[in-house]
Amino acid sequence: MGHSNTLTELMLSIATGEVRVVDLTQPLEPKTPVLQLPAEFAQATPFEIGTLSEYDDRGPAWYWNWFKCSEHTGTHFDAPIHWVTGKDHENNATDTIPVENFIGPACVLDAAAEATADPDFLVTIDYIKAWEEKHGRIPARSWVLFRTDWSKRTDPEAYLNMHDDGAHTPGWAPDTIPFLAEERDILGVGVETVGTDAGQAGTFDPAYPCHTLMHGANKYGLASLTNLDQLPPTGAIVIAPPLKIVRGSGSPLRVLALAPAK
Ligand code: MN
């Protein structure tokens, strides 16, 4: 009965507001910004939507739409199979990842001030260790969420922040990724920016370290999150199951957090 009491108490706590349900998801619509890759590569398919019927002669009593987008559009999940370094892992796609791995405690690194001052701000191991001094060691199976307040940039140009030399958006110093993946054994990282790597990460060694090393370690990513400012540094739980696309490299998803009342 212990387990059922836990779940009953959780449901009561949600009903009373003692536990808040925080939506970490951006709206998904045609204007949702997508990643821009160098011109020689295939580009992300933006979100498209069309009406099948809307209580009309195509369907008198019902409204429904079709939609089309890349797997990496809007708030989305990155599976290990997304990257060449993760392609040979077992259970590395959206349909085969163990479902327990979609739920984990949140550790929120609040770098809003740093990212506002420097759009190329990178989280370092020292930064993470300073966070742990205050909030405790990052537990295994955590989602490490990188708060930058980037989601508050509602103008797509400011959000993508493209310049002649590419995007300028915050991310991870390369050596932080093996530290988080191996020494802390996290589930994955979540960011507010359009992708899990820094805008300039194509120039890093290795290039795109979060994708290369996180997926190489069979870990996950969450991109284009919002409302991270609504979460405490520790104590919240992230729920992030992607669509069960067969051999999917990722998918748009609804990301929720359960957080203690403020
Ligand atoms: Mn992605």
Closest CA to 94 of 212, 193, 220, 233: 220
pLDDT above 70 (res 36): yes
135 is annotated as an active-site residue: no
pLDDT band at 3 (very low <50, low <70, confident <90, very high): low
The answer to whether the beta carbons of residues 92 and 86 sit under 8 Å apart is yes
Residue 185 has pLDDT above 60, yes or no: yes
Give pTM, 2 decimals.
Answer: 0.97
Write out pLDDT tens, residues 235-250.
999 999 999 999 999 9
Percent of the chain topping pLDDT 90: 97
Q: Which of 82, 89, 211, 215 is catalytic?
A: 82
What integer pLDDT is reported at residue 38 of this predicted model? 87
In angstroms, what is the span from residue 37 Cα to ligand 1's centroid? Answer: 12
Predicted pLDDT of residue 4: 79
pLDDT in tens, 112-151: 999 999 999 999 999 999 999 999 999 999 999 999 999 9
CA 195–ligand 1 middle distance (angstroms): 5
Closest by Cα among 76, 75, 82, 74 to 47? 74
What pLDDT does 2 receive? 55
Cα 114 to middle of ligand 1, angstroms: 24
How remote is the CA of residue 60 from the centroid of ligand 1, in Å?
38
The chain-wide mean pLDDT, for the chain, equals: 97
Which pLDDT value is given to residue 262? Answer: 81
pLDDT digits (tens, 9 = 90+) for 7-17: 999 999 999 99
Q: What is the pLDDT of residues 105-115, one digit of tens each?
A: 999 999 999 99
256 falls in which pLDDT band (50, 70, 90)? very high
**Cα–ligand 1 centroid distance for 6 (angstroms):** 34
Q: For residue range 199-237, what is the model confidence (pLDDT) as tens digits? A: 999 999 999 999 999 999 999 999 999 999 999 999 999
Whole-number pLDDT of residue 83: 98
Q: What spacing in Å lies between the alpha carbon of 111 and ligand 1's midpoint?
A: 21
Tell me the pLDDT tens digit for each residue of 163-182: 999 999 999 999 999 999 99
